[in-house]
Structure 1
Amino acid sequence: MRKKRWLLVVCIFLLSAIVVSCVKKQEIINSKDLSESFVLRIIHVNDTHSHLNPLALTINKQKKGNSKILVGGYAYIADYVQKEKKQDKNILFLHAGDAVQGTLYYTFFQGIADITSLNLLSLDAMVLGNHEFDKGPEVLWQKFVSRANFPILCANIYFKKPNKLQSKIKKYIIMQIGREKVAILGLTTPDTQNISSPGNNIGFKDVKKVASDFVQLFKKMGINKVIVLSHLGYKQDIKLAREVEDIDIIVGGHSHTPLGKLEELGLPSEGPYPTIVYNHNKPVLVVTAWKWGYVLGDLKVAFDRRGVILENSWQKDSRIIFLLGSKTGIQGLTARQKAFFVSSQKNKKVEQNILDYSKEVEKLKKKVVGKALKSLSNIRIPQTDKRNDLAPLVAKSMYLKTKYLEVDLALQNAGGVRTSLAKGPITVADIYEVLPFGNSLVLFELSGKELKTILEKAVDRALQGRTGPFPYLYGAKFKLRKANPLGRRIVDLVIYRNNRWEPLKLEEKYLLVTNSFVARGGDFYLDFKKIKAKEDLGFIDAEVFLEFVQERKLLRGVEEEFYPLEEL
């Protein structure tokens, strides 16, 4: 009996010790003593890709169908950020990279239109994205970095020889916000070496090692609040949050990932805003703001005196927002839908700056960039005596643009090409009439079996009257038997590899590039949504085709050997 009683006392004592320990730990991390906390707000964008003007956003008004609303635009972003900064001194405004490449503003001005606008936005810092290097380091310096009035960051870049970029690119900055110091560290995807044009003199180090080293440096400096401004991609940001201790917030870009409860608007979402990762029981907040300036991320958190983010302090005031110039566009939305939208005014200086460049863009649209040696038709479904000359050329432009990635084939849906090109001069405006949607290029790794299934279903849909899905390829070709049933219409499918045509192997892996509309399941390409091995490369289809036409000058159809199909 005494032994049992003694064991009971010991158990109660141990249990009490554990409970007290847990409570003390919880009190430290979940402290309610907000009087001693430090509150920080971060407004952020990423992957704006030269979209300086407001964009049309299609949202679902539920019972009233779809509706288009104009959102974003640098003039409205500037007004919102500057007004918020006047009211709240603890705000940072950050850009997570890829400010350029995607519209005619970059095609014609190579970054000047972007940087002169960004200089008016009250940015606190920006990290270099891979597309900043698309025209090479000299253009990046002359047209962008040398003109910036805000810090441009990248801690994992290195130079084999001295370069002018070194004088402006910082590894990190320390911001004094009230009585607190906050470190902001910039990290750029090491893939930049392979997916852009940084040149042989520039390389990128492993981000985990670099992040770990700088976090330790910040500790020695007595700084316990660390933000990583990242152009790595959402999944890589989550991985970094798990692997490197003492990072508090990762503000990311690169993957064009939509976060938050956007399903309310009929839009895709790939995770919560913010996404919470725990590293040694401490919350690390990962955020990103989709693409093109459609949205702003607006994150608000509180830190305890140790520099640890207070549990759930982000829940009340953190959100994804869409900026509106007028509230007329949101009539008919539910109250929950309207909560996503914030009214803003145009900043006059930014508006005028963009207007100056847009006038030049309108003139340059009339510029002749090539010549069609024959009429390049856009027949959606080929006939015995008629075929589509234009869609295979668009596919070829995508194929050549990504060939450095060892892509095997390109796929262009017939519906994505909106008009034919007449024989004669081709202007910039003509290119944008052919490809008006601003789709980006997306790279997939898929099996031969998956490819065959996707093509069979696309042909089946097209033959049922929905002609948009019909697939036009480059780097692959097949024979089409229209009379056969689903699954047996595509025969003799071959892929061009190692300078020869090889039969498709069902178990083999292939790299395919297509446009982002198809990649997200548009035109009934639903199987693409199931494939996880994919990457949005950020190149805009019209820009790619424009570059293709400018380089060749004279256009005719693709080489006969590469014409993608033969009707049987």
Structure 2
Amino acid sequence: MLETIHFYHTNDLHSHFEYWLRSQFFIRKERLAYAERGEPSFLFDIGDHLDRSNIYTEATLGLGNVKLLNEAQYDVVTIGNNEGITLDFDELYHLYDEANFEVVVANLKAANRENPKWLKPYTILETKYGTKIGVIGATAFYELFYKELQWDIVEPRKKIISIVKQLREQVDILLCLSHLGITEDELLAQDCPDLDVIFGSHTHHFLETGKMVNGVLLTGCGKFGAYTGHLTIQFDHRERKIIRKEEKIIDNALLPEIDGEVEFLEQLSSTGKELMSETIFQTTKSYNKEWFHHSQISRLFAKAVLEHTGADCAMFNAGIFLDGLKKGNISKYDIHRILPHPINLCVVEITGRQLKEVFLQAKNDEWSQLELKGLGFRGLIFGKILTYDFSVNKNRELIVKGEVSDLNRTYQLATLDMFTFGYFFPNFKYAKKKYFLPYFLRDVLIDYCKRYLN
């Protein structure tokens, strides 16, 4: 007997719901048609379904996303870094309490208490014909972030391989939901040919018909809900082996529009606004924003950053402010609109000599016009890098807090976590760092304004 099994999969939606209704309507219709033909099907999500830059996700702290996944009848999901490190411990611990699907994350566990009931390293699905399908999940190895949030995370590849060895003789098909990125997926395929398919995500890669590496099929459907993957596996029951695995990608923009799409998006937005409408503080004046030089709101935010971290100086890009702060009553929604980014503060310890180098690097005019996508940044353009309490004078001396610095002394620089990954400032990648989690930039500003502007 030849059995055909279908797997629909999504990844890195980041709370972009523009095509959600039409894509889920299409998947549901397809799955019903396959069921009538006796062909089993499953639906997976490979992480980063939520993104707290979205007002509905922010207002519900991801529980609204779980509700949507339930309604769409997902079977198995794994978590991405947006689920894992943008919620505090309790928020993630209870995120999937009401989930009607299974959540698999092999390389994560709670540090100081029992794991949540939903957290498991793998699951075994079974078709009506008795075919057993092992599904392992793993998420990106952000060790410092998870440690601050009271979770223990281990290197994923070794963990996945150990589970594959455990499961290979128990199941007919072995799948991995990988929120690790294309490079890690390729390395995993090289090290673990016993896997049949690695469903990929995290790096937003797009593999139109998949990619075969060492006999393992890799998938990737881009980002923001633009595409849905459809994997077909044909399993030979007599030979007890897969004889075909085929991937194709569905362009959701080309699917028929569904009645109520605009109203659906408006309802999500209005629900978020309503939940975040309560006044949290008041201002007696407005604070303007500027993207190419200092502004009233950037100076206000710098004070908040320095007080929150206790650092010697601060640095951030002006493009983080999407709007200014109005005069009058301010709600959580107002602050979220200004600072939607899921970005945390980080204090980096560097020498005065390195701090001087950072200041000179930050003067790169090309960065100010950069249309940055990713690293937590959810703005339009990068804007000028602003520095507070440190500069370089005409004599090329480093000035920190108004005084000429000792280039050999260690200073604490408060900055954005996105600057610490090595892309902009290579020195930061290997420096001693402290991340301030789970507080986002907007939380820091709210806390300061509550105490000093009310």
What TM-score, normalized by structure 2, do the two folds share? 0.72
> What secondary structure sits across from 1:194 in the alignment?
helix
Q: Which residue of structure 2 lines up, in the alignment, with residue 390 of structure 1?
A: 297
Summarize the Cα distance change of 1:360–1:82 in structure 2 as closer, same or farther, 3 Å threshold: same
Contact 1:218 1:224 in 2 (8 A): no
> What secondary structure sits across from 1:285 in the alignment?
strand
Q: Identify the match of residue 92 of structure 1 among 42, 48, 56.
A: 42
Residue 552 (structure 1) aligned with residue 448 (structure 2): yes
Q: Identify the match of residue 277 of structure 2 among 360, 366, 386.
A: 366
Residue 274 (structure 1) aligned with residue 203 (structure 2): no
Residue 156 (structure 1) aligned with residue 107 (structure 2): yes
Q: CA deviation at 1:513?
A: 3.9
What amino acid does structure 1 have at the position aligned with 2:272? V
Spell out the pairing of 1:218-229 with structure 2 (5 A cutoff).
218-221=167-170, 223-229=171-177
What amino acid does structure 2 have at the position aligned with 1:177? T
Summarize the Cα distance change of 1:244–1:473 in structure 2 as closer, same or farther, 3 Å threshold: farther
Q: Identify the match of residue 362 of structure 2 among 455, 480, 485.
A: 455
What amino acid does structure 2 have at the position aligned with 1:360? T
Contact 2:143 2:154 in 1 (8 A): no
> What secondary structure sits across from 2:195 in the alignment?
coil
Q: Which residue of structure 1 lines up, in the alignment, with residue 289 of structure 2?
A: 378
Q: Between Structure 1 and Structure 2, whose CA radius of gyration is higher?
A: 1
What amino acid does structure 2 have at the position aligned with 1:307? K
Q: Which residue of structure 2 lines up, in the alignment, with residue 45 of structure 1?
A: 10
Q: CA deviation at 1:323?
A: 2.1
Spell out the pairing of 1:296-307 with structure 2 (5 A cutoff).
296-302=228-234, 305=239, 307=241
Spell out the pairing of 1:268-417 with structure 2 (5 A cutoff).
274-278=210-214, 283-302=215-234, 305=239, 307=241, 310=244, 314=246, 318-319=248-249, 321-324=250-253, 341-345=254-258, 358-372=269-283, 374-382=285-293, 387-391=294-298, 410-414=315-319, 417=321
Deviations 1:331-369 (A, max 9, x none): xxxxxxxxxx32252589x987x8766443232453323
User: Unpaired segments of 5 or more residues in structure 1?
Assistant: 1-35, 55-71, 261-271, 325-340, 463-467, 482-489, 520-526, 535-542, 558-568
CA distance in 2: counterparts of 1:85 and 1:412, whole angstroms: 47
Contact 1:259 1:273 in 2 (8 A): no
CA distance in 1: counterparts of 2:220 and 2:92, whole angstroms: 24
CA distance in 2: counterparts of 1:256 and 1:372, whole angstroms: 41
Q: Which residue of structure 2 lines up, in the alignment, with residue 77 of structure 1?
A: 23
CA distance in 2: counterparts of 1:439 and 1:504, whole angstroms: 34
Q: CA deviation at 1:528?
A: 5.7
CA RMSD of aligned residues (A): 4.8
Contact 1:364 1:428 in 2 (8 A): no
Residue 126 (structure 1) aligned with residue 77 (structure 2): yes
Contact 1:249 1:285 in 2 (8 A): yes
Contact 1:47 1:99 in 2 (8 A): yes
Contact 1:397 1:544 in 2 (8 A): no
Q: CA deviation at 1:239?
A: 2.1
Q: Which residue of structure 2 lines up, in the alignment, with residue 27 of structure 1?
A: none
CA distance in 2: counterparts of 1:433 and 1:160, whole angstroms: 34
CA distance in 1: counterparts of 2:426 and 2:206, whole angstroms: 19
What amino acid does structure 2 have at the position aligned with 1:112? L
Deviations 1:254-282 (A, max 9, x none): x342314xxxxxxxxxxx6523321xxxx
> What secondary structure sits across from 1:235 in the alignment?
helix
Identity of aligned residues (%): 19
> What secondary structure sits across from 2:175 in the alignment?
strand
Summarize the Cα distance change of 1:475–1:379 in structure 2 as closer, same or farther, 3 Å threshold: closer
What number of residue pairs does the alignment pair up?
A: 415
Deviations 1:63-110 (A, max 9, x none): xxxxxxxxx23x233212211211223432111123334122233222
Q: Identify the match of residue 426 of structure 1 among 327, 330, 340.
A: 330
Q: Which residue of structure 2 lines up, in the alignment, with residue 478 of structure 1?
A: 391
Q: CA deviation at 1:47?
A: 3.2
Q: Which residue of structure 1 lines up, in the alignment, with residue 68 of structure 2?
A: 117
Deviations 1:141-183 (A, max 9, x none): 44x32101111112233456663613x3232222223533211
CA distance in 1: counterparts of 2:318 and 2:355, whole angstroms: 19
CA distance in 2: counterparts of 1:114 and 1:451, whole angstroms: 39
Contact 1:215 1:246 in 2 (8 A): yes
> What secondary structure sits across from 2:443 in the alignment?
helix
CA distance in 2: counterparts of 1:301 and 1:529, whole angstroms: 45
User: Unpaired segments of 5 or more residues in structure 2?
Assistant: 349-353, 370-380, 431-438
CA distance in 2: counterparts of 1:449 and 1:42, whole angstroms: 53
Q: Identify the match of residue 206 of structure 1 among 146, 155, 164.
A: 155
Q: CA deviation at 1:212?
A: 2.0
CA distance in 1: counterparts of 2:367 and 2:165, whole angstroms: 58
Q: CA deviation at 1:306?
A: 5.6
What amino acid does structure 1 have at the position aligned with 2:204? T
CA distance in 2: counterparts of 1:372 and 1:504, whole angstroms: 42
> What secondary structure sits across from 1:227 in the alignment?
strand
Deviations 1:434-486 (A, max 9, x none): 35xx55659999x9899567534317978xxxxx76523357743588xxxxx
Q: Which residue of structure 2 lines up, in the alignment, with residue 258 of structure 1?
A: 205
Summarize the Cα distance change of 1:82–1:503 in structure 2 as closer, same or farther, 3 Å threshold: farther
Q: Which residue of structure 2 lines up, in the alignment, with residue 107 of structure 1?
A: 58
What amino acid does structure 1 have at the position aligned with 2:184? Q
Q: Which residue of structure 2 lines up, in the alignment, with residue 138 of structure 1?
A: 90
Summarize the Cα distance change of 1:247–1:399 in structure 2 as closer, same or farther, 3 Å threshold: farther
Q: CA deviation at 1:433?
A: 4.7
Spell out the pairing of 1:60-75 with structure 2 (5 A cutoff).
72-73=19-20, 75=21
What amino acid does structure 2 have at the position aligned with 1:105? Y
Q: CA deviation at 1:185?
A: 1.0
Summarize the Cα distance change of 1:418–1:158 in structure 2 as closer, same or farther, 3 Å threshold: closer
CA distance in 2: counterparts of 1:378 and 1:347, whole angstroms: 36
Q: CA deviation at 1:493?
A: 5.9
Contact 1:50 1:100 in 2 (8 A): yes
Contact 1:370 1:549 in 2 (8 A): no
Q: Identify the match of residue 182 of structure 1 among 116, 133, 141.
A: 133
CA distance in 1: counterparts of 2:209 and 2:406, whole angstroms: 46
Contact 1:418 1:433 in 2 (8 A): yes
What amino acid does structure 2 have at the position aligned with 1:227? L
